[in-house]
Amino acid sequence: MELAQLGRWPGIEGRVALVTGASRGIGRATAQALALQGAAVVGTATTEPGAAAISERLGAVSPDARGLVLDVADPESIQALFATLSESKTPPTILVNNAGITRDNLFARMKPDEWDRVLATNLSSLYWVCKAAIRGMMRARWGRIVNIASVVGLTGNPGQVNYAAAKSGMIGFGKSLAKEVASRNITVNTVAPGFIETDMTREMSESQQEALKGQIPSRSLGAPQDVAAAVVYLASDAARYVTGETLNVNGGLLMS
C-alpha cells in the first residue's frame, strides 16, 4: 500500500505532529503518512545525521516538517526538545510515542541493564513525553496521543519479560490517561503491531521468520505502512470518539 493512496483524513492538516523514532521502520512510515496528511511533522532520531536525514526526507513532502535529535530514555533530552518546540511556538497536538528497543534474554540471564534500558525507552519515556506534551494539548482543547505497543504486551513472549512488561505497561498507561483527559477532547490510544518488517524483526533468522509466518493467519509479516495507516486513523477526527482503545495490527495473530 502506498501511503499517498490513503486520501486525506479529517482533522490532521495544519496540526503539529511529533513522532519519536522516525528515522527507521514504523516511525519513519508514520511520520511520512502524517506529513502526507498535511501535518507539520517533527520526527526524531537519536543522532544528528539521523535527524538531518528525516528533515530531508520529510521536507520533500512538507515544508514545515523537520527532524530533531531525541533520546527518549533521557528526561533532559525530552525537556530540551520541548524547549526547542516552544521557542518556535509549535507545541505538538498529535503525539506518536513510537521509539522503542528490545534487549532479549531469558529471564534467568537477563541483566539489570537489559531490564532498565527497555523499561526506560519503551515505558518511562511515555511519562516524560506525555507530561511535556499534554499542557499544549489542553490549551488547544484538542489532542491525539498514539502509543506504539506490541502484541507481545498482550500475549507475553519467552526471552522478552522486559519488553512485554513495558508494552503491557503502555496499554495500562494509555487507558488511565485516556480517562483523565477525555473531557478535554484529547484521546489516548494504543496500536499493538504484530510482526512488522523492520530492522527489529530483521534480527530474526530466516527459519525463525518462516516459523513465525506459519502462526500468522495472513501468512505474512506486516509492513510499516500498515501500522502508519492505523495511526493516521487514530490521529484524525474520524476517531474522535475512540479513546483508551488498543488497535491490533497483526494479520490475525491475536484477536481480542
CA distances for 248 relative to 11, 60, 88, angstroms: 23, 31, 36
Could you give the CA distance from residue 142 to residue 33 in angstroms, rounded to a whole number?
Answer: 20
Cβ atoms of 15 and 62 within 8 Å: the answer is: no
Q: Which of 62, 121, 168, 243 binds ligand NAP (CB under 6 A)?
A: 121
- Contact flag: residue 72 with ligand NAP (CB under 6 A): yes
Cell of 23: 528515522
In this structure, the chain runs to a length of 256
At CA 97, angle to CA 234 and CA 185, rounded to 5?
45
Which residues inside 195-224 make contact with ligand NAP, applying CB under 6 A? Answer: 195-196, 198-201
Distance CA 26, CA 73 (A): 19
Rule CB under 6 A: say whether 243 interacts with ligand NAP: no
CB of 114 to ligand NAP, least distance (A): 14
User: Are 118 and 103 a contacting pair, CB within 8 Å?
Assistant: yes
Total number of residues that touch ligand NAP (CB under 6 A): 30
Name the one range near ligand NAP by CB under 6 A: 71-79, 81-89, 136-144, 179-187.
Answer: 71-79
Is 163 a catalytic site residue?
A: yes
User: Applying CB under 6 A, which of residues 18, 35, 73, 94 lies at the interface with ligand NAP?
Assistant: 73
Residue nearer to ligand NAP on the CB measure, 6 or 212: 212
- The grid coordinates listed for 73 are 530514555
Tell me if 246 sits within 8 A of 149, measured CB to CB.
Answer: yes
- The beta strands (E) that lie in the chain are given as 16-19, 40-45, 66-69, 94-97, 143-148, 186-193, 246-249
Of 11, 15, 23, 248, the one binding ligand NAP (CB under 6 A) is: 23
| 252: helix, strand or coil | coil
Binding of ligand NAP by 230 (CB under 6 A): no
**What is the distance, to the nearest Å, from the Cα of residue 96 to the centroid of all Cα atoms in its chain?**
5
- Taking the least distance from each CB to ligand NAP, the nearer of 183 and 256 is 256
Kindly write out the interface string for residues 89-108 of this chain, putting x where it contacts ligand NAP by CB under 6 A and - elsewhere.
---------xxxx-------
Encoded one letter per residue, x for contact with ligand NAP by CB under 6 A and - for no contact, window 28-67 reads: ----------------xxxx--x-----------------
Contacting ligand NAP within 136-155 (CB under 6 A): 148, 150
Q: Decide if 71 contacts 97 (C-beta within 8 A).
A: no
- Quote the distance between the C-alpha of residue 73 and its chain's center: 15
**Closer to ligand NAP by Cβ: residue 151 or 186:** 151
Residues 162-201, one symbol each (x = binds ligand NAP by CB under 6 A, - = not), give -------------------------------x-xx-xxxx
Residues at the contact surface with ligand NAP, assessed by CB under 6 A: 20-21, 23-27, 44-47, 50, 70-73, 98-101, 121, 148, 150, 193, 195-196, 198-201
Residues with catalytic roles: 163
